[in-house]
Amino acid sequence: MKRLLTLLLTLTLSLPFMVQLTGCSTDVADYRQQTPKLDIFQYFQGETEAWGMVQDRSGKQIRRFHVTINGDVLGDTLTLNEHFVYDDGEKQQRVWHIRRVSADRYEGTAGDIEGVATGKAAGNAFNWHYSMNVKANDKTWLLHFDDWMYLQDGQHLFNKTDMKKFGITVATVTLFFSRKAA
C-alpha cells in the first residue's frame, strides 16, 4: 500500500511537468477563431514582396534576403514563382505548385522539396510541413521545415519557420510579406 501511495504521489507531482512537455506544440486549429481569415490562394494571387532573415540555433542572424513572388491561381492550384536575392548577392528561384485538397488542407511541390509538402489552414494561420534540400558549406542537407504563416491584415503576413535536422532546430527563418495593391 505504501508503494502505491508513493507511486500516486510521484505521478501527481510530475503531472504538471509532463503536461508542460507534451503541451508545447501548437495545432493550427487553435487559430480557427482568429481573424482575418487567411486564404493562401487569395493572399498570394498577384504580386507579393517579402523581407526575411535566417538565424542560426543561437539566434545569430546569418543571412538576409528579399523575395518577389508572382502568384497565379488556376482551378484548385496556386503556382508561386519566387525570386530570392540574398545579402551576399546570391539569387535563387523556386516555383511552388500548391493544390487545395479540401477546404483547409493543401499539398505542394517544388524543385528542391523532397516528396510532397502538406499544409493546413485555420482562421488567420497556415501551417506548412516539408523537407527541403538546403545547400550550406559546400554540402546539401535535407532539412525539415515547420512553417507558420499568420495574416495580420489584408496586406501583411508574418512567417516563422523552424528548420530541423534529427528533430533539433538548426535555424529559424522569419519573413514579413506585403501584398502589392492590385
| Cβ pair 129, 145 in contact under 8 A | yes
Close Cβ partners of 34 (under 8 Å, ≥ 6 residues apart): 123, 124, 125
The whole-chain average pLDDT of the chain stands at 88
pLDDT of residue 155 exceeding 90, the answer is yes
Whether omega for the bond prior to residue 16 falls within 30 degrees of 0, making it cis, is no
**pLDDT for residue 20:** 37
**DSSP helix/strand/coil, 115:** strand
pTM: predicted TM-score of the whole model, two decimal places: 0.84
- What is the CATH code for 36-179? 2.40.128.20
pLDDT digits (tens, 9 = 90+) for 75-112: 999 999 999 999 999 999 999 999 999 999 999 999 99
Cell readout for 74 is: 488556376
Average pLDDT over residues 135-139: 85
pLDDT of residue 48 exceeding 90, the answer is yes
Smallest CA-to-CA distance from 149 within 24, 55, 28 is with: 28
